[in-house]
Every structure is written in structure tokens, then in C-alpha cells.
């Protein structure tokens, strides 16, 4: 029941998400879940850094959701190559199986706006995206504070 209420309360939030994930099956699961939790969002996809850059150039993106490890680089590489888009307001959320403690130097950067561990689940991911788009603190930040 909580999920239904959470979903219905956020249906007015909208935007465009670029999901950068190299595992096809996981990318499909994330896309389906975000479609359910965030129905106002359009979801574009890329499987690697090289495929993400043309999508960023061709579409107005609100949130870039990036897997930390990609076949042709990492979320760090994509962030570095996306500076102009981030400066224009694209928010970056890193999705990874790595712990926030392992990634703290990267997650502390001002151009990374959130982190969600894959173990936290897709509802937490949707909540983090909503909070980021709305300009609120992201759900994952308390985990980072515990590391500090």
C-alpha cells in the first residue's frame, strides 16, 4: 500500500532520464520499474560511455543515471566528458554494486548528485531521482554521512 501511495503522490514530477547501464536485462528491469514509479519521466538508454554522449547532445536530459562500471570506462569517465551538460543542469546519480565507502572520493564531487547501491532497490532509486529533480537532498546521502 505504501508503494501505491508513494507512486500516486509523485505522478506530477516529470523529466527525461538517461539510463547508462551495460547489462541489458538489468537495464530493462530498471526501465520498467522507473516507468511504474515515475510515469511522468521519459527514459532514454545507453549501454556505454560512447553511446551516452550522443544522447546527451541530442536530447534535453534532466537526470543521468549511470552504472559505475561500463565496458568502455566508468561513471567517472562519463562525468568528465559530460561537464558542459552538467554545468547546464543535468544531475548525475551513480548506480552501483560498489559500497558508498569504496566510492567516497568520486561521490564527494560537486558534479555527482546522488548514489544508490543496487542492493537498495528500485523504489529507493526512484525516490532518489525524484528528490534530485525536486532539488531536495537525495535518499542515499545518509549512507555517505555514516562513512564520514
Q: Count of domains in the chain?
A: 1
d(C-alpha 89, C-alpha 60), whole Å: 10
Kindly report the pTM of this predicted structure. Answer: 0.82
Range of the domain at 115: 2-147
Q: Are 53 and 84 in contact (CB under 8 A)?
A: no
Q: Per-residue pLDDT tens for 58-105? A: 999 999 999 999 999 999 999 999 999 999 999 999 998 876 666 677
Task: For residue 85, give the CATH number of its domain.
Answer: 3.40.50.2300
Q: Are 110 and 78 in contact (CB under 8 A)?
A: no
pLDDT tens-place string over residues 12-24: 678 999 999 999 9
User: Across residues 113-119, what is the average pLDDT?
Assistant: 89
Please give the residue that has the higher pLDDT: either 117 or 141: 117
Amino acid at each position: 500500500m505504501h508503494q501505491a501511495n508513494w507512486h500516486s503522490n509523485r505522478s506530477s514530477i516529470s523529466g527525461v532520464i538517461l539510463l547508462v547501464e551495460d547489462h541489458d536485462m538489468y537495464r530493462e528491469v530498471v526501465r520498467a520499474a522507473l516507468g511504474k514509479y515515475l510515469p511522468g519521466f521519459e527514459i532514454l538508454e545507453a549501454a556505454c560511455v560512447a553511446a551516452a554522449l550522443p544522447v546527451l547532445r541530442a536530447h534535453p536530459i534532466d537526470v543521468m543515471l549511470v552504472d559505475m562500471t561500463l565496458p568502455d570506462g566508468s561513471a567517472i569517465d562519463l562525468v568528465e566528458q559530460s561537464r558542459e551538460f552538467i554545468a547546464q543542469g543535468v544531475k548525475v546519480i551513480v548506480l552501483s554494486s560498489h559500497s558508498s565507502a569504496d566510492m567516497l572520493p568520486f561521490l564527494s564531487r560537486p558534479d555527482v548528485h546522488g548514489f544508490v547501491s543496487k542492493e537498495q532497490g528500485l523504489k529507493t532509486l526512484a525516490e532518489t531521482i525524484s528528490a534530485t529533480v525536486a532539488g531536495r537532498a537525495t535518499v542515499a546521502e545518509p549512507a555517505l554521512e555514516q562513512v564520514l
